[in-house]
Chains A and B, each alone.
Chain A
Amino acid sequence: MIAEIGHFALILALAVALVQATIPLIGASRGNATWMALSGPTSTAQVLLIGISFAALMHAYVTSDFSVMNVAQNSHTDKPMLYKVAGVWGNHEGSLLLWITILALFGFAVTLFGRNLPPGLKSRALAVQAMITVGFLLFILLTSNPFARLEPPPINGSGLNPLLQDPGLAFHPPLLYLGYVGFSMAFSFAIAALIEGRVDAAWARWVRPWTLAAWVFLTCGIALGSWWAYYELGWGGWWYWDPVENASFMPWLAGTALLHSAVVVEKRDALKSWTILLAITAFGLSLLGTFLVRSGVITSVHAFATDPARGVFILGLLVVAIGGSFLLYALRAPTLKTGGLFAPLSREGALLLNNVLMATGAGTVLLGTLYPLFADALDLGKVSVGPPFFNSVFLPLMVPMVLAMGIGPLMSWKRGDLAGALSRLKVAAIVALIVAIVTWVAQGGSLGPWWAAAGMGLAVWLLLGTLTELAERTRLFRVPVGQSLLRLGKLPRAAWGMTLTHAGLAVFIAGMTASSAWKVESVQSQKIGETVTVAGYAFTLKTVQDVQGPNYIASRGTFEVTKDGAHFAVMQPQKRSYKMPPMPTTEAAIETTFLGDVYAVVGDASSDGGYVTRLYFNPLVVWMWFGTAMMVFGGLVSLSDRRHRIGAPTRAPTHVPANSVKA
């Protein structure tokens, strides 16, 4: 009964969304205030209806109602409650419902916080938002009904893929979707602005916090997925440039570019049509990711079960949403008034450079991801594009970007002083160079990869460049220290946000470089009692025992690890066999230290009486997680800035960009 209510609520939501997608739009073009105002109650009704539907599915999972097919296929009574809840979105249908729920929440948020938005812009944006909802509701109702019944109901469900029974992965999809769907706000407002033919500072001030919030969620989601892959899949890596990973990384790149270009729109009233294009692209890439993951056109390690009927439907959705938007863009963007002028060497110029490099980077990732499809369709043979391609294309493009990231914040708006900025960065440049040289010497010259020195140098450059900017702002060393501290306390949170995020990226780059360049790996057959030394850590395999888990059996290896003769840790990796569904998994044992992760995996018994073991030392891995956390935290700090608060902006005519803070 409850499942039927959920299904019915979705159908009602579709009807409401159809109203919201049309009436306010017509109202806005005719200037009919009543029709425009309809977008408020309809978006509220939608969030209620879709919320009911989501709650109904949640209820079915929590109570293990196996007469619902989706629950029977993805849940089990023995599953811990956390995974029963997470099971809701651990499958195609449920995750789609989650997607729609978040979409409805964002639409409702516009109604809730957007009181001071101009009614025309608001009703148009909500209408666009509702069009997306209509598309996805049709998709779920026609091809992927999560409430389909199973007759007769099985006694118990089939369980969830054990790899997915993990706290890291339980929250990965919701965060990712909050990011993807968050970009729909920028998208809807971009389309509304194109219809209106007006983009101004107020528009940017409205779009920025939403984009920033989406960016924070997406960053969190990607990091969580990567962290999960690192400790759960047992191969010691954290990023494989798999199509599904790329599908989340491309919107991130476009979103990051959008964040920066929106600043230029707000402060300088320039780069307007470019920003609109980025807003469409960021959400377009989110939709594209959905398509890639669910249609099966690209082979990936972790895609949802695919169904060509669904693929055709999403492709249709994609063509209408993105193709339509780009077409509207081609027609309307040339009529947008071009804004303020600036010299190439200026803050705007630096932000534009960042944008161009980000966009180019996203373009190369897109090309690499889709290349196997192109090659196949053009009969050029079956190819796979893996890490070597992306590493040799994407990473070089990021080098000038990181270099510019050190300089850009020191340039002033409109016309910057490059020579002045560079002279203030002298210390940063010299220290970065020294670090690069020291790195080179320390790794034994060409014994290590050449780019390791460059990567460490860049990380230091970015960190010191960011700190130099902070010192400049507080006039450190030029005024008494006390006064500097006072200035530091008065810095706007948006400035702190930028500093934290950029510094976080620097820490991340250091971690990424070190863990890729100096990873030590050893695979061997190890007998009980045998000791293998990896990067100074001596691993002695003590025992391999069978252990019984709640829903699996495992063989557990016990390593005693010593460093320089002193006890370091006892590590117990496992190889598990789950019963429901039957599936083997590898549980790595990881000991994290400041300088690197000690990582051990145990495999099958080998014919010579030993066990295959895989031992790693992954340097500075924790720096990557810490750097990402800094970036997320920086985003949050910036979001808490009074001027960035969601809903705060108004279209005030007295806005003076000149006295606004550098951010």
Chain B
Amino acid sequence: MRRLLYLLPVAVFGIIALFFLRGLTLNPREIPSVLINRPVPEMNLAPLPGRGENTGLATADLKGRVSLVNIYGSWCIACVQEHPYLVQIKKQGIVPIHGIDWRDDPVEGAKWLQKHGDPYDRVGIDPAPGRTAVDFGVTGAPETFIVDKAGLIRYKHIGPVTPETWDKVLLPIIKELNK
């Protein structure tokens, strides 16, 4: 009886730890996008200043090829981190990357690309409050969407693209969609 009393703390802790383990798996890493497996929203975004005519992003631009749509902003913290990697992906030429400069001053957005490199085929500006980004279901930046040949959003990645997520998650999906 007395022994059992001394076992009580470890028993209580054990139960709590089990719940924690369950809690960690409950924690949804991927935040759902309302638009998975649905067409890209209607949009016709103006190009960034200095990037030339006809480099904006419209719904029709995303049809016919598997492509990535990357949400960024010159104010965005984690974008700095993923950006060099996007430039690298661009060099590999596997998939075209389009950008949406979200809730940003377009001049700043363009300057930022000059500074950090420009991996994008097309960049559309989505000024505050960011109507198009909302239609995409964006919750923050950076986010990256995979759009298939039919113009359907097939995957949403939240947070910076890292070599690891690229190799393990994004690239396999792109390869699958390219088949």
The yes or no answer to A155 lying at the interface (CB within 8 A) is: yes
Contact: A323 with B14, CB < 8 Å?
A: yes
The yes or no answer to B60 lying at the interface (CB within 8 A) is: no
CA distance A291 to B20 in the complex (A): 9
Which residues on A sit within 8 Å (CB–CB) of B6?
273, 329-330, 333-334
CA distance A581 to B19 in the complex (A): 36
B121 to chain A, nearest CB (A): 22
Given contacts A150-B80, A154-B80, A318-B17, contact A330 B9 (CB under 8 A): yes
B70 to chain A, nearest CB (A): 17
Q: A330-B3, A330-B9, A334-B3 are in contact. List 9 more A-B contacts (CB 8 A).
A: A73-B77, A291-B20, A297-B26, A315-B21, A322-B13, A323-B14, A373-B19, A374-B19, A581-B75
The yes or no answer to A277 lying at the interface (CB within 8 A) is: yes
CA distance A73 to B76 in the complex (A): 10
Contact: B10 with A297, CB < 8 Å?
A: no
Cβ contacts B1-21/A at 8 Å (1 or 0 each): 011001101100110110111
Interface centre among A295, A308, A329, A582 (most CB of B within 10 A): A582
Which residues on A sit within 8 Å (CB–CB) of B27?
295-297, 306, 308, 311
The yes or no answer to A281 lying at the interface (CB within 8 A) is: yes
Contact: B7 with A330, CB < 8 Å?
A: yes
Contact: A330 with B10, CB < 8 Å?
A: yes
Which residues on B sit within 8 Å (CB–CB) of A280?
9
The yes or no answer to A580 lying at the interface (CB within 8 A) is: yes
Which residues on A sit within 8 Å (CB–CB) of B26?
297, 376-377
A199 to chain B, nearest CB (A): 14
Contact: A376 with B23, CB < 8 Å?
A: yes
Given contacts A334-B2, A377-B23, contact A308 B7 (CB under 8 A): no
Within 8 A of B (CB), among A318-352: 318-319, 322-323, 326-327, 329-330, 333-334
The yes or no answer to A514 lying at the interface (CB within 8 A) is: no
The yes or no answer to B54 lying at the interface (CB within 8 A) is: no
Contact: B24 with A297, CB < 8 Å?
A: yes
The yes or no answer to B49 lying at the interface (CB within 8 A) is: no
Within 8 A of A (CB), among B81-97: 81, 84
Contact: A326 with B24, CB < 8 Å?
A: no
Q: Interface size (A, Cβ < 8 Å)?
A: 44
Helix, strand, loop or mixed for chain A's interface?
helix
Within 8 A of B (CB), among A63-84: 69, 72-73
Contact: A377 with B84, CB < 8 Å?
A: no
CA distance A318 to B27 in the complex (A): 19
Residue from A73, A152, A370 in contact with B16 in the complex, judged by beta carbons closer than 8 Å = A370
Residue from B14, B19, B77 in contact with A377 in the complex, judged by beta carbons closer than 8 Å = B19
B140 to chain A, nearest CB (A): 11
CA distance A333 to B75 in the complex (A): 56
Contact: B10 with A329, CB < 8 Å?
A: yes
The yes or no answer to B152 lying at the interface (CB within 8 A) is: no
CA distance A281 to B77 in the complex (A): 38
Which residues on B sit within 8 Å (CB–CB) of A580?
75
Which residues on A sit within 8 Å (CB–CB) of B13?
284, 322-323, 326
Which residues on B sit within 8 Å (CB–CB) of A330?
3, 6-7, 9-10
The yes or no answer to B168 lying at the interface (CB within 8 A) is: no
Which residues on A sit within 8 Å (CB–CB) of B103?
582
A306 to chain B, nearest CB (A): 8
CA distance A375 to B51 in the complex (A): 53
The yes or no answer to B179 lying at the interface (CB within 8 A) is: no
The yes or no answer to A312 lying at the interface (CB within 8 A) is: yes
CA distance A327 to B78 in the complex (A): 43
Residue from B7, B14, B20, B29 in contact with A297 in the complex, judged by beta carbons closer than 8 Å = B20
Contact: B84 with A308, CB < 8 Å?
A: no
Which residues on A sit within 8 Å (CB–CB) of B81?
69, 72-73, 150
Which residues on B sit within 8 Å (CB–CB) of A154?
80, 115-116
B8 to chain A, nearest CB (A): 8
Which residues on B sit within 8 Å (CB–CB) of A296?
27
The yes or no answer to A151 lying at the interface (CB within 8 A) is: yes
Closest chain A residue to B20 by CB distance?
A315
Within 8 A of A (CB), among B8-50: 9-10, 13-14, 16-17, 19-24, 26-27, 29
**13 A-B pairs (CB sep. < 8 Å):** A69-B81, A72-B81, A150-B81, A277-B9, A281-B9, A297-B23, A311-B24, A315-B17, A323-B14, A326-B13, A373-B23, A580-B75, A581-B75
The yes or no answer to A516 lying at the interface (CB within 8 A) is: no
Which residues on B sit within 8 Å (CB–CB) of A284?
13
CA distance A240 to B27 in the complex (A): 23
A300 to chain B, nearest CB (A): 13
Given contacts A158-B80, A334-B3, A377-B19, contact A315 B24 (CB under 8 A): yes
Interface centre among B3, B75, B78, B84 (most CB of A within 10 A): B75
Which residues on A sit within 8 Å (CB–CB) of B116?
154
Within 8 A of B (CB), among A280-316: 280-281, 284, 291, 295-298, 306, 308, 311-312, 315
Closest chain A residue to B23 by CB distance?
A297
Given contacts A297-B24, A582-B75, contact A327 B10 (CB under 8 A): yes
CA distance A347 to B17 in the complex (A): 36
CA distance A155 to B74 in the complex (A): 12
Within 8 A of B (CB), among A172-194: none
Which residues on A sit within 8 Å (CB–CB) of B75?
158, 579-582
B90 to chain A, nearest CB (A): 15
Which residues on B sit within 8 Å (CB–CB) of A322?
13
Contact: A370 with B9, CB < 8 Å?
A: no
Contact: B84 with A151, CB < 8 Å?
A: yes
Which residues on B sit within 8 Å (CB–CB) of A311?
24, 27
CA distance A376 to B84 in the complex (A): 40
CA distance A280 to B8 in the complex (A): 14
Closest 3 CB pairs of A and B: A297-B23, A326-B10, A158-B77
A323 to chain B, nearest CB (A): 6
CA distance A377 to B80 in the complex (A): 37
CA distance A376 to B26 in the complex (A): 8
CA distance A580 to B76 in the complex (A): 9
CA distance A606 to B89 in the complex (A): 47
Which residues on A sit within 8 Å (CB–CB) of B21?
315
Which residues on B sit within 8 Å (CB–CB) of A327?
10
Contact: B19 with A323, CB < 8 Å?
A: no
Closest chain B residue to A333 by CB distance?
B6
B43 to chain A, nearest CB (A): 22
CA distance A333 to B9 in the complex (A): 12
CA distance A315 to B84 in the complex (A): 33
